[in-house]
Amino acid sequence: MATSMRGLTQFIADIRGARIRENEERRINKEMANIRKKFKEGNLDGYQKKKYVAKVVFTYILGYPVDIGHMEAVNLISSSKYSEKQIGYLAVTLLMHENSDILRLVVNSIRKDLDENNEINNCLALHAIANVGGHEMAEALAEDVHRLLISPTSQNFVKKKAALTLLRLYRKHPEVIPAADWALRIVAILDDEDLGVVVSVASLVMALAQDHLEAYAVSYQKAVDRLSKLVLERECPPSYSYYKVPSPWLQVKLLRLLQYYPPSEDSTVRSVLERTLQAIMTNANSTPRNVQHSNAQNAVLFEAISLAIHLDTDSPLMDTAAVLLARFIMSKETNVRYLGLDTMAHLAARADSLTSIKKHQGTIISSLRDRDISVRRRALDLLYSMCDGDNAETIVEELLRYLQVADYAIREEMVLKIAILTEKYATSYKWYVDTILKLIAAAGDHVGEEVWYRVVQIITNTDDLQEYACRTIFAYLRAPICHESLVKVAGYVLGEYGHIVANEPGFSPLEQFQALHSKSQFCGTSTRALLLSTYIKWVNVFPEIKQDLLSVFERYRHVLDSELQQRACEYYVLASRPEEDEMLQTVCEEMPPFPPRESALLGRLNRKHGDTEDKRVWVHGGKEANLERGATKRRAGTRQSTLPPPNESSAANQHPEDNSRSSIMDSLAGLDLSSDSRVGETGGSQEASTPIVQGPHIDKWYQNLISTNEGVLYEDSQLQIGIKSEYHGHLGRLAIYFGNKTSTPLTSFTAIVSVADSEALSVTFAKIPANIVEARTQSQQLLHVECRKAFSAPPTLSVSFLAGSMQSIKLRIPIVLTKFFEGARLNATDFFDRWRLIGGPPREAQSIFAIQLDATGRINHSRYRKIMTGARLTILDDVDPTPTNIVAAGVLHTLKDGKVGCLLRLEPNQEAKLCRLTIRSTSEEVAAEVLTVLQKPLSN
């Protein structure tokens, strides 16, 4: 840039040559005055504007304030010369912020550069949008960026920049990106041949899928397919192979994307994914050649183990994963130890059994004293997650011992976790009190209000704990040094239950008062206020020390603090009332038990672990905590739809200045003192699914395939879908043919089968469908079908492909209950005996409907018989006494319910043009469904 502009080169040389700051400032002021004069005079050509704006940009980079050159930079963006346009974009991105009014002037110029068939201009415009794109610019240009991303004429490097620009806009202004509407088209780019484009789009899909899981569900199958090609088939260009690891960046992103979704119910997808994960873990056993190879291999491996944990903690893969993790947590490399501990914490958060992790408990405990604080944090998280009733005392004891020397940065978190574990796995009241008081004494200022609140609640609600708590807390009071949090606990416990031990030696009322009051001078205002409440309680139960307590109230009546003064005055008046007055007894009654409630400690701990841009799919704390988290998220999503608008919230929520008070109220949430909490405003929305394609031909093809084994399911000018099927018992196979009728390939081809009730029906592809259907060719996919029990809704086939534009089709697959029938032959006696034995409703389903006669005005018996035969029922001739009636019988084969008998009787009436269809079955569900399947073709 500088070599083509002599004035700029000389200016930079002068600045560099200035030996003192005054000379530099003098030179810059002189140049800025000259530039300001030139801009004011006007009549500058493009070269001169470029030169002067470049000087302004250089001055800004040096850190000097700049207030000129903005309009000239805007004019340069409109230039047709690359060098001038480049300087203009550089100045705009550096000199202007996203809320600048001047940016509105460049929106049209940026849109023009995005629309041009010039990849250089496209990239300059994308850089500007990503760097300074505010809300208005995002609203105006998001569609244009998306168009560049999906355009088949865009260069690969333009697509990469467009994907990252959209990601930037979504992170800053998610509300302006119609993520759900663009889902299919964006996900389709995961099939792009250029891995660089796929890596960029994978980052975008990861961000969008976190907030729109349903809309981006199609990415699951594509991610599995791409992973299998990278790992199993080694389909990776040499330029994207990093130390013989095929595109590790893409592998990591796809493995993380799969963790956002629940495990697939498709056995084929699960099988491919398990083979891929097994291959990744097997490759990890090879010795890395160098650090770079090790880093790439480990990055993929740790995500693969996390995905294996997410899929199934009881799978054979976990045996291999456990061995690898044990090796990693003992590695000499800090990063590997960190990732090993974090991944093992994930395993502890999901696994039903912690046996494999407990084998390494000693190594994990020793990691608490690692030189790196991040490793120490992960060791703490892992110990917290792997704790259960068997090892709780050992782990808590180790954490208390480590607390003495722990870093101040993690002490508060340690206190919360120790308090939670102590409460959750307390084996006895004595151990709980000893441990929690030892924690408060050791942690000091790192003990939050929630900790001692919870201690007080548990002691209040547990009668057997109160006497021992008084003895133990009194022992801490007698020590020379006692932390303020302990004084608070002691003040509450002794005030409520000190009378229980008052008659024992060493615990007299006077000794309790002296021990507690001696610590008050070292405490803050809130603690002294609590102690005054303790003293008024003692006035009621310990009349022998009433004068000592009154003297304390008298002294506090004259303090400057208004809270203390008011309490002291009120308590002094209350304590001075006559002994026969019952008001004191009424006011000082013992605290009732707190209502059962969830511990506030868990809420405080969860607030400390805020979500990042890449949201975790699990939390520390074992399997129970993760199950509770999932249930809480589901309840929050359900409740979100019933919440009133924010402006209709209660008065307690309209005062932000009450936040400090509400945090205290939250800790006493069983007392119904605070307003109900609200879930966040950013709940996930329900994404509309693609509607099933309807049409006269489509319905006719579907009905035809219900009674036949092969035929056309769908056809248009681009695609034809045909089906061939065969069924034996409760099993079936379907061959689906996708025919490309166009002269160009159908790219990003995706076919997904959805089943409404997976417990009743299983339909899976034998292998993941290919993502390209070549021109004028046909692609065949095999479906395996299994009927487990009676079902009503047929499965659906969702097909999407790219043919100029994104096409999406959703069809019903003709898999109905009658496909799993086998005809049964019965004579008249057997038929009617079973007919009567089954009886009427609810195991009978009946319908009367209008029918159409044939061209001669007669009942079309041959058509009806064909429909019955197509439903895999055996027609029983000479059984019904009425010759025009048709009777049939069959047996439904299912995996879970076994065989289910079904009898049919069709009674057409030629004169009335009506027909009565009666189905009787040993299962009422089967009778109703067979009636539904047969009525429509019979009535047409």
The reply, when asked if residue 37 is annotated as ligand binding, is no
The three-class DSSP label of residue 522 is coil
pLDDT in tens, 4-46: 688 899 999 999 999 999 999 999 999 999 999 999 998 899 9
Q: Is position 812 annotated in a ligand binding site?
A: no
Of all helices (H) and strands (E), which one includes residue 737? Answer: strand 731-740
Q: Would you state the pLDDT for residue 661? A: 37
> Using CA atoms, how far apart are residues 300 and 253, in angstroms rounded to an integer?
9
Nearest in space to 198 (alpha carbons), one of 245, 163, 168, 152: 163
**DSSP-derived 3-state class of residue 451:** helix
pLDDT at residue 666 in the model: 42
Separation between Cα atoms, residue 388 and residue 348, nearest integer Å: 11
* 741 among annotated binding-site residues: no
CA-closest candidate to residue 901, choices 890, 888, 909, 885: 890
pLDDT of residue 99: 86
Average confidence score pLDDT of the chain: 87
DSSP H helical ranges for 351-391: 355-358, 361-366, 373-386
Q: Average the pLDDT over each of 120-134, 514-528, 907-921 and give the range with the smallest value.
A: 514-528
The amino acid sitting at 840 is G
> Is the CB of residue 900 less than 8 Å from the CB of residue 892?
yes
Is 51 known as a binding-site position?
yes
613-622 pLDDT tens trace: 456 677 776 6
Residue 54 labelled as part of a binding site? yes
Q: What is the pLDDT of residue 634?
A: 52
**Contacts of residue 804, Cβ cutoff 8 Å, sequence gap at least 6:** 152
Tens-place pLDDT, residues 377-425: 999 999 999 998 889 999 999 999 999 888 888 888 888 899 899 988 8
pLDDT surpasses 70 at 317: yes
Residue of higher predicted confidence among 158 and 481: 158
Residue 599 has pLDDT above 60, yes or no: yes
| Average pLDDT of the residues in 509-514 | 91
Phi, psi of 64 (to 5 degrees): -90, 145
> What mean pLDDT do residues 349-371 have?
90
Instruction: Give me the residue label for tokens 């065949």.
Output: 780
**pLDDT score, position 615:** 62
d(CA 321, CA 343): 10
Which residues make Cβ contacts (< 8 Å) with residue 6, sequence separation at least 6? none
Is residue 636 over pLDDT 90? no
Per-residue pLDDT reduced to its tens digit, 667-677: 333 333 333 33
Percent of the chain with pLDDT over 70: 90
Residue 645 has pLDDT above 50, yes or no: no
In three-state secondary structure terms, 597 is coil
| pLDDT the model gives residue 651 | 37
3-class secondary-structure state, position 87: helix
Residue 210 has pLDDT above 50, yes or no: yes
125-130: average pLDDT: 96
Residue 659: what pLDDT? 42
User: How many C-beta atoms lie closer than 10 Å to residue 704's C-beta?
Assistant: 16
Over 90: is that where the pLDDT of 840 sits? no
Q: How is domain 818-939 classified at the CATH fold level?
A: TATA-Binding Protein (3.30.310)
Percent composition of the chain: helix, strand, coil (DSSP 3-state, to 5): 60, 10, 30
Q: What does the pLDDT average to over 81-107?
A: 92
621 is in an annotated binding site: no
Please state the φ and ψ torsions of residue 874, each to the nearest 5 degrees: -95, 125
Q: Identify the DSSP state of 654.
A: S
- Per residue in 770-807, pLDDT tens? 999 999 999 999 999 999 999 999 999 999 999 888 89
* Whole-number Å distance between alpha carbons of 920 and 901: 9
The pLDDT value recorded for residue 239 is 93
549 alpha-carbon distance from chain centroid: 57
pLDDT at position 664 over 60: no
* Average pLDDT rounded to a whole number, residues 855-880: 91
Q: In what order do the strands lie in the sheet with 796-803?
A: 747-754, 796-803, 805-812
Percent with pLDDT over 90 in the chain: 63
pLDDT at site 629 = 61
What b-and-e string marks burial along 166-176, b requiring 16 or more CB atoms within 10 Å of the CB? bbbbbeebeeb
Of 469, 521, 505, give the one whose Cα is nearest residue 490. Answer: 469
Rounded Cα distance, 384 and 349, in Å: 10
> Three-state DSSP class for 343?
helix
What's the average model confidence in pLDDT over 347-356? 88
The yes-or-no verdict on residue 757 having pLDDT over 60 is yes
**47 assigned binding-site residue:** yes
Q: CATH fold of 696-815, please?
A: Immunoglobulin-like (2.60.40)
